[in-house]
Chain A
């Protein structure tokens, strides 16, 4: 019987987690996942591997274990099979749940409290995306490292055995490979020792030094953005952000639930649970239990780095902080339960209130994530079939909506299946919302004139993507397509637009094209004055900073200097071209270079030309 209880103690939280998050376990990839998956295809040497693992990416983050290695190894072994990824995610979560129960038991002196904490944590809405959305694995891995390091600290406090301290250090250092949030661990360790094992407080200070050093180096390597959603804004807004995350920690994310519950009732429920938590905290502190305050410190410390992100409030950010509240909540439930029938009724009522507030939202959010990821899968796998049936032809997607665009198309899922030439049909921009800062839908649309020519030449297949199954409508679409003159956007890196390029250009290199010293192309002219010509491409390091000279129908524009790396250059267009059916653009660089083992004289790599 005792053995069965022990087994149940360690397995029930994981089974409950799997049951509630089953839709997450069976979800596919979506959105940012595709960018990380594509890392694998960019590795051709040890140097590439180091770049892929450690170069700051995505808002300047460096997460070599939880994002880079996870996706590189996963994609290398399993391709676009999402199940192994989710197996690793859930295995890590199960280990974290065991640690939540174990550490909770040690903090509170009650195995039941640790057990309850694990359950309270795993049913919260904040855990949906870390478990279901593969690219948020960094949260799960970070939670595991933080909990394991803290467990070793507790063992060190209990036994005084040095190897535990050593293991705490090892795990703490490894944690930096999971998520930047790991920097808060020394604050947690310091707070715990200060409250519960003061003699060991000084032993946590060297870790503080490591966190400070990591922060300095990270800031130098990847300066935090000063504008946009990820800009850090200090001041009163941090308190507002804290209040929002608090309500999402106690109640459902966004204070929305599929259950027909009025908003004021949710606010009242959050208030009731909050009062109970703080009341229990006060009682524990009066009784001399510093560990109760530590639970709140864990919450605040783990949330603190996200509080300045005023414009990027995200539903899964409370995932790690919540562990502290789960310990306090589990502890409170067990203590109240022990106070007789009245206490038991109160414990059941509070647990039921919390569950009723968060669980429906957790399940519905998991279902939502599953649904949109499966839509991304249907689209990608359908396009893969179209590519099999029509090799060498481009694919035009007709009828794509917001979900398909933001979860697959925008994040360039198709190069993963060997398709670099998948486009949206002209007019798609009318059906896809375009949030500021998320890139332009137009960048993915094939101009009508290019589409019409490709259809005439049999280089393009058109699929209606509005249903679950892709439907080929090439013939019917060709009939209704209305041409609208020369395109205003020409990508030199796409085969369908090659007919607009002059003979100087070199042949296509997968998704880009090199120019020699001078190259020309035809493009539509603006219908009204005040428009610009935008150039985007890449300057190789070997070329260094170069001057670009552009002429339009023979008229020279003010030159621009571009430096190594990706570049964008803007050239105001003269009024003399306004209203013309097309214009001839000539681009010239001030010098070229010849790479080893390549006889070509290379200028810049393009890239897109666009009148805008």
Chain B
């Protein structure tokens, strides 16, 4: 066997050095380090970046094409409907995502077979989508930065078909809207 001896002093020194360095170089406080967060800035325009159809306080953002609140949570739309939204912070540089939460009722499918929804923001057209079955959907589209300049943008929606007035209901009915909003990327 080789006559190598354990460098006890070196090992002990390494362990002690680690402990001393740790004791000397580190924060003894129990508190964790904190990192800055991005906080909300007061919105001078008062315009939200998203609209909950069940909230009567946000009615002023519904420019046209919406009917009264139903079941405290949704509204019927007409064939064409428009909202006003505030672009999220940073979206003028990075763009944003338009998210429209909607429902297609069975009655719509029964009467129209399918409906195609399209939208435009400040004149920039977004790709359409066709719904042929009842259910809940999200119409989700990326919006380029150029379409999101300024303190507010108009989002115009269009349906290729709608249910005409019938029976005692004089309304032209499109889809069931739940929320419409812009989400930052």
**Residues of chain A having any CB pair with chain B under 8 Å:** 10, 14, 75, 77-81, 83-84, 87-88, 90-92, 94-95, 98-99, 102, 105-107, 109-111, 114, 151, 154-155, 158, 378, 380-382, 384-386, 388-389, 416-417, 463, 469-476, 479-483
Contact = CB atoms under 8 A, between A and B. Distances in A.
B26 A472 contact: no
Contacts of A472: 37-40
Interface residues of B, number: 46
A480 B18 contact: no
Contacts of B58: 479
B38 A87 contact: no
A389 B38 CA distance: 11
Given A470-B37, A479-B52, A102 B4 contact: yes
Nearest to B74: A482
Interface string B151-167: 00000000000000000
B32 A79 contact: yes
Contacts of A87: 18-19, 21-22
Given A95-B15, A469-B35, A102 B6 contact: yes
A476 B49 contact: yes
A471 B29 contact: no
B34 interface: yes
B36 A110 contact: no
Given A79-B27, A151-B6, A381 B54 contact: no
Interface string B105-128: 000000000000000000000000
A417 B21 CA distance: 25
B31 interface: yes
B33 A381 contact: yes
Contacts of A102: 4, 6-7
Contacts of B31: 79, 384, 417
Contact of A471 (B33, B34, B37): B37
A476 B181 contact: yes
Contacts of B1: 106-107, 109, 154, 158
Contacts of B32: 79-80, 380-381, 384, 416-417
Given A79-B29, A94-B14, A472-B39, A111 B2 contact: yes
A105 B88 CA distance: 66
Nearest to A80: B32
Contacts of B7: 10, 98, 102
B22 A88 contact: yes
Interface string B39-82: 11001000011111011001000000000000001000000000
Contacts, number: 142
Given A80-B33, A480-B52, A482-B178, 12 more contacts: A87-B21, A91-B17, A111-B4, A114-B4, A381-B34, A384-B35, A385-B36, A389-B39, A475-B43, A479-B51, A479-B58, A482-B54
A427 to B, nearest CB: 11
Interface string B81-112: 00000001000000000000100000000000
Contact of B37 (A14, A99, A463): A463
Contact of B179 (A109, A417, A482, A483): A482
A384 B34 contact: yes
A455 to B, nearest CB: 12
Contact of B15 (A84, A91, A99): A91
A83 B30 CA distance: 14
A470 B35 CA distance: 9
Nearest to A154: B1
B38 A471 contact: yes
Given A84-B22, A109-B2, A479-B48, A469 B37 contact: yes
B49 to A, nearest CB: 5
16 contacts: A77-B28, A79-B27, A95-B15, A109-B2, A151-B6, A154-B1, A381-B34, A384-B34, A386-B37, A469-B35, A475-B43, A479-B52, A480-B50, A482-B52, A482-B54, A482-B179
B40 A385 contact: no
Contacts of B179: 479-480, 482
A382 B17 CA distance: 33
B11 interface: yes
B40 A105 contact: no
B48 A78 contact: no
Contacts of A77: 22-23, 26, 28
Nearest to A107: B1
Given A98-B7, A111-B2, A472-B40, A378 B35 contact: yes
B168 interface: no
B25 interface: yes
A91 B14 contact: yes
A469 B14 contact: no
B15 A92 contact: yes
A109 B2 CA distance: 5
A419 B178 CA distance: 34
Contacts of B17: 91
A416 B33 CA distance: 12
Contacts of B49: 476, 479
Contacts of A155: 6
A76 to B, nearest CB: 8
A416 B32 CA distance: 8
